[in-house]
């Protein structure tokens, strides 16, 4: 794995760093303005997808600050990651990362966007997705509870339909019994969430379309 220091001061790490294509994975966030962390969901997926896609560099981004109140800063970090990889990219946005991925999707290097339980606020401009592929995967049991992060499937479905109206094409996959993402981190280790394996097929299909 290769460590990258982005121009904004954010960090990234790349698997298959010399591959001709890239998947840039951007993380979720919180209401509080906290230092960025590595996403357990992004890491879990990257570990399993790397062997299947040797032609794709999997680049995970760690924001300077992971908060939706600092969304512009997160967008800058994602743009800096695209500058660093400097090749055609699929953006993979988990939770708040869905808004981040959509926010930089107008970059000509972005070939498609994959949203994993994406947060797509109604005021978020979607013009960057016009003419591009936008696929969404969401756990059917995902919800927000006090103190527990989550995004309801109804929220992402509404955002997906708005994206299609804005000129995107894609698929919406609801994962039975799926929660918010596929993994969490506990004492430094990844803990796989229920139904995590069911996210792999639609994520793999999105990467296959992108890499074709």
Query: Do residues 192 and 183 lie in contact, with contact meaning Cβ atoms separated by under 8 Å?
Result: yes
Residue-wise DSSP of 142-170: ---BTTB----HHHHHHHHHHHHHTT-B-
pLDDT in tens, 170-207: 999 999 999 999 998 988 899 999 999 999 999 999 99
C-alpha 68/C-alpha 75 separation (Å) is: 10
Average pLDDT score over residue span 123-148: 91
pLDDT in tens, 48-80: 999 999 999 999 999 999 998 999 999 999 999
Query: Do residues 116 and 181 lie in contact, with contact meaning Cβ atoms separated by under 8 Å?
Result: yes
The DSSP code for 30 is: B
Q: Is-above-0.75 flag for pTM?
A: yes
Domains and their CATH numbers in the chain: 2-211 (3.40.50.1820)
pLDDT of residue 196: 95
Average pLDDT, the chain: 95
C-alpha 59/C-alpha 114 separation (Å) is: 14
pLDDT of residue 181: 92
pLDDT in tens, 12-32: 999 999 999 999 999 999 888
Q: Among 81, 116, 80, 123, which Cα is nearest to 199's?
A: 116
């Amino acid at each position: 794995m290769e460590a990258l220091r982005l121009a904004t001061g954010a960090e990234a790490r790349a698997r298959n760093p010399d591959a001709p294509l890239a998947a840039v994975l951007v993380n979720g966030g919180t209401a509080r303005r906290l230092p960025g962390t590595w996403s357990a969901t992004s890491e879990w997926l990257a570990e399993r997808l790397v062997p299947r896609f040797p032609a794709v560099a999997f680049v995970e981004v760690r924001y300077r600050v992971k908060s939706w109140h600092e969304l512009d800063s997160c967008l800058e970090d994602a743009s800096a990651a695209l500058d660093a990889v400097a090749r055609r990219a699929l953006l993979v946005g988990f939770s708040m990362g869905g808004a981040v991925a959509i926010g930089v999707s107008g970059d000509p290097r972005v070939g498609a966007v994959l949203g994993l339980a994406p947060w797509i606020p109604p005021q978020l401009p979607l013009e960057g997705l016009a003419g591009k592929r936008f696929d969404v995967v969401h756990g059917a049991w995902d919800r927000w509870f006090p103190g527990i992060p989550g995004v309801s499937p109804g929220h992402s479905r509404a955002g997906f339909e708005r994206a299609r109206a804005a000129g995107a094409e894609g698929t919406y996959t609801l994962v039975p019994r799926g929660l918010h993402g596929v993994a969490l981190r506990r004492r430094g280790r990844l803990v796989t969430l229920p139904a995590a394996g069911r996210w792999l097929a639609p994520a793999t299909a999105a990467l296959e379309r992108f890499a074709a």
